[in-house]
Amino acid sequence: MTRHMLGLHGVTAESLGMIMERAWRIRQNRRQYREKLKGKLIAALFFEPSTRTKLSFELAAHWLGAEFIHFPLETSSRVKGESLLDTILTVTAMGVDALIIRHSNSGVLEWLKEKVDVPLINAGDGAHEHPTQALLDLHTMYHYFDSLKDIEVVMVGDIQHSRVVRSSIWALKTLGARITLVGPPSLLPREFEQFGISISWRLDEVLPKADIVYLLRIQQERQQKGLLPSLADYTRQFGLTAGRLSLLKPGVLVMHPGPVNVGVEITAEALQLLRSWPRERAQVCIEHQVASGVVVRAALLDYLLGEESHEITA
């Protein structure tokens, strides 16, 4: 049976827990895992830009002793019109053990999984899912909370275009967290209400209840004309500004998947103030999230490709 990580929709608490547990074990004793994937060859095909996801998968593969290759998009036959399926079949025919794919088309990995017989790992597909981002966020949250049950998570920003939100809400709901999505009406579809998720158009009203404030990147590359009056207007209404810090609960976590548009989702002044505050007052976790990315992606690679590999249960 081929083991994939396509998304977190429907993934059980048991599967999430097993990946989290393996990530903790790797974090505590990395040396024990350094030959776990020796002899495996993992290929990364990124059809959209990435710093964190691509590099952390590569580091994770190195930690586990696997070989890692990047598909060189700009110098490939893609520029001569080779289709996506042709590219994928060509790469798999060369004998890789797993494919990590980022692509702008939502659901493209679901379509590909019927056509290939190697594990596929979703590194972000359109506005659909970004499961490993949500997993690394869970790993970071568990550093600060023993349980996510009844934890209030407020996710702020461009909900419409966010694959991070979609993966996160499935996992957080499964683990019992309460979620509120906040953003301008033009970027906040009401479809999420049917899943028991609160929505709000007023950040100031929901900030005081948040145990975790999760700021989303304003995706300027995905904005259609007219969805936002201006970035300055967005920051005035939905940015974490120095003026809004007084609304935060003591001990709140402030998270962001990166890359941060400083001055848009959070102002430089607010970021600097938060970084200077003691843990009991607030904690900015952005670097912690990045570090968790390597650990969690190593856990996932081992989970899918290692000797004690598992299928993700849904």
CB closer to ligand CP out of 53 and 140: 53
In whole angstroms, the minimum distance from the beta carbon of 162 to ligand CP comes to: 11
Instruction: Please report the sign of the dihedral spanned by the C-alpha atoms of residue 15, residue 258, residue 113, residue 2.
Output: negative
CB closer to ligand CP out of 15 and 133: 133
In whole angstroms, the minimum distance from the beta carbon of 131 to ligand CP comes to: 11
Q: Which residues contact ligand CP by CB under 6 A?
A: 50-53, 124, 133, 257-259
CB closer to ligand CP out of 65 and 258: 258
In whole angstroms, the minimum distance from the beta carbon of 88 to ligand CP comes to: 20
CB closer to ligand CP out of 63 and 178: 63
The candidate with the shortest Cα–Cα distance to 289, out of 248, 254, 246, 247, is 254
In whole angstroms, the minimum distance from the beta carbon of 80 to ligand CP comes to: 27
6-25 CB burial, b ≥16 within 10 A, e <16: bbbeebeeebbebbbebbbe
In whole angstroms, the minimum distance from the beta carbon of 259 to ligand CP comes to: 6
Longest CA span, the chain: 57
Distance CA 70, CA 310 (A): 25
CB closer to ligand CP out of 216 and 299: 216
